[in-house]
Amino acid sequence: MTTADDTGPVPMDRGAVFQLIRNQLAEILEIQPDGIQESASFVEDLDADSLALIELVEGLESEIGTHVAGFRIEDEDLEDLRTVRDAVDYVTSRLREA
């Protein structure tokens, strides 16, 4: 995150959120990041189990939390995140609200 003059932090753009999620998933699933597309389903395409998704959430909360105090992904929202695009849209939306 960068700052724009003295107005405070500039939220991560959608592309940066996608790269963060892609890199986190690649590390967790031990695959190449460029093999992860936005349209990929966590379960069907990436073979991510619930533990991998929990690790992803923890990693995102930790990474984004260093820039946005109190950033959190709600447990009840996890079931709606079925694809990488769902996760990118969710995180981007939460960052706009912050």
Domain borders along the chain are 13-97
Q: Which listed residue (6, 34, 45, 49) is catalytic?
A: 49
pTM reported for the whole predicted model = 0.85
Confidence of residue 70 (pLDDT cuts 50, 70, 90): confident
Interatomic CA distance for residues 27 and 91, integer angstroms: 19
Q: Which residue has the tokens 């929990």?
A: 54
Cα–Cα distance for residue pair 44/49, rounded to 1 Å: 10
Contact 56, 81 (CB under 8 A): no
Question: 13 catalytic, yes or no?
Answer: no
What are the tens digits of pLDDT across the range 73-89?
Answer: 988 998 899 999 999 99
CATH fold, domain 13-97, is 1.10.1200
Task: Give the distance, in angstroms, between the CA of residue 54 and the centroid of all CA atoms in the same chain.
Answer: 11
The amino acid at 61: E
